[in-house]
Amino acid sequence: MTYNFDPDRWYDNELAALERMAKTGQLNKAEFEKQKDRLMARYDDMIARLDGTYRIDKP
């Protein structure tokens, strides 16, 4: 089984969406920062779960 999920690309895409929302006025600066902090927390949690999940047993 291969696992091709790229958490960095996911983060970049999510951040770009937030930036578009801020640029178009859908989010004010405070809400943008709040959502950005939440996004970073989700990213950090995801990385912690993914880190070390693939291991090759040594003979």
pLDDT in tens, 2-47: 567 788 999 999 999 999 999 999 999 999 999 999 999 999 998 8
**Has residue 55 got a pLDDT over 80?**
no
Tell me the three-class secondary structure of the chain, residue by residue.
Answer: CCCCCCHHHHHHHHHHHHHHHHHCCCCCHHHHHHHHHHHHHHHHHHHHHHCCCCCCCCC
Q: Greater confidence, 15 or 48? A: 15
Q: Give residue 56's pLDDT band: very low, low, confident or very high (50, 70, 90).
A: low
pTM assigned to the model: 0.77
